[in-house]
Amino acid sequence: MRYILDIAQTNETPANYAKKFMQDFCETMEDHIVTIVCIDETNDNQFHNDPTKNTLTDAQLQRYSDYCHRED
Protein backbone atom coordinates (compact mmCIF):
# COMPACT_ATOMS: atom_id res chain seq x y z
CA MET A 1 0.00 0.00 0.00
CA ARG A 2 1.10 3.57 -0.59
CA TYR A 3 -0.11 6.65 1.19
CA ILE A 4 0.44 10.40 1.06
CA LEU A 5 0.73 12.01 4.50
CA ASP A 6 0.84 15.79 4.84
CA ILE A 7 1.86 17.29 8.17
CA ALA A 8 0.94 20.96 8.45
CA GLN A 9 3.42 23.30 10.07
CA THR A 10 1.61 25.96 12.08
CA ASN A 11 2.72 28.65 14.50
CA GLU A 12 1.70 26.28 17.31
CA THR A 13 3.63 23.29 15.93
CA PRO A 14 6.57 22.41 18.21
CA ALA A 15 10.05 22.44 16.70
CA ASN A 16 10.97 19.12 15.04
CA TYR A 17 7.37 17.84 15.35
CA ALA A 18 7.40 16.15 11.94
CA LYS A 19 10.77 14.49 12.58
CA LYS A 20 9.58 13.17 15.96
CA PHE A 21 6.30 11.97 14.43
CA MET A 22 8.17 10.07 11.71
CA GLN A 23 10.54 8.48 14.24
CA ASP A 24 7.58 7.34 16.36
CA PHE A 25 5.77 6.05 13.28
CA CYS A 26 8.79 4.05 12.13
CA GLU A 27 9.15 2.53 15.61
CA THR A 28 5.47 1.53 15.52
CA MET A 29 5.95 -0.06 12.10
CA GLU A 30 9.27 -1.72 12.98
CA ASP A 31 8.10 -5.14 11.75
CA HIS A 32 7.36 -3.70 8.29
CA ILE A 33 9.39 -2.13 5.52
CA VAL A 34 8.74 1.62 5.70
CA THR A 35 10.11 4.39 3.52
CA ILE A 36 9.38 8.03 4.29
CA VAL A 37 10.48 10.67 1.81
CA CYS A 38 10.18 14.41 2.48
CA ILE A 39 9.15 15.91 -0.84
CA ASP A 40 8.50 19.44 0.43
CA GLU A 41 9.39 21.23 3.65
CA THR A 42 6.77 23.92 3.06
CA ASN A 43 2.99 24.00 3.25
CA ASP A 44 2.77 25.24 -0.34
CA ASN A 45 0.00 23.64 -2.43
CA GLN A 46 -1.44 21.66 0.47
CA PHE A 47 -4.01 22.08 3.24
CA HIS A 48 -6.81 23.70 1.26
CA ASN A 49 -10.40 23.26 2.49
CA ASP A 50 -11.20 21.91 -0.98
CA PRO A 51 -9.27 18.60 -1.20
CA THR A 52 -9.19 18.77 -5.01
CA LYS A 53 -6.71 21.66 -4.62
CA ASN A 54 -4.28 19.57 -2.53
CA THR A 55 -2.35 18.32 -5.53
CA LEU A 56 1.29 17.34 -5.73
CA THR A 57 3.41 19.76 -7.72
CA ASP A 58 5.81 18.74 -10.45
CA ALA A 59 8.69 19.70 -8.14
CA GLN A 60 7.37 17.46 -5.34
CA LEU A 61 6.94 14.54 -7.73
CA GLN A 62 10.44 15.12 -9.09
CA ARG A 63 11.95 15.08 -5.57
CA TYR A 64 10.30 11.73 -4.93
CA SER A 65 11.46 10.36 -8.26
CA ASP A 66 15.00 11.61 -7.60
CA TYR A 67 14.95 9.86 -4.22
CA CYS A 68 13.77 6.60 -5.78
CA HIS A 69 16.43 6.69 -8.49
CA ARG A 70 19.39 7.85 -6.41
CA GLU A 71 22.55 5.84 -6.23
CA ASP A 72 23.72 5.22 -2.69
Look up the pTM and report it: 0.70
Q: Does residue 10 belong to any structural domain of this protein? A: no
The mean per-residue pLDDT over the stretch 3-7 comes to: 84
Please classify residue 56 by burial: count the beta carbons closer than 10 Å to its beta carbon, then call 0-12 exposed, 13-18 middle and 19+ buried: middle
Q: Does residue 4 belong to any structural domain of this protein? A: no
Q: Does residue 8 belong to any structural domain of this protein? A: no
Number of domains in the chain: 1
- What is the pLDDT of the chain when averaged over all its residues? 87
Q: Does residue 1 belong to any structural domain of this protein? A: no
Q: Which domain holds residue 37?
A: 17-68
pLDDT band at 60 (very low <50, low <70, confident <90, very high): very high
Q: Does residue 6 belong to any structural domain of this protein? A: no
Neighbours of 44 (CB within 10 A): 10
Q: Does residue 40 belong to any structural domain of this protein? A: yes
Percentage of the chain lying above the pLDDT 90 cut: 28
pLDDT score of 9 = 78
Q: Does residue 11 belong to any structural domain of this protein? A: no
pLDDT score of 69 = 93
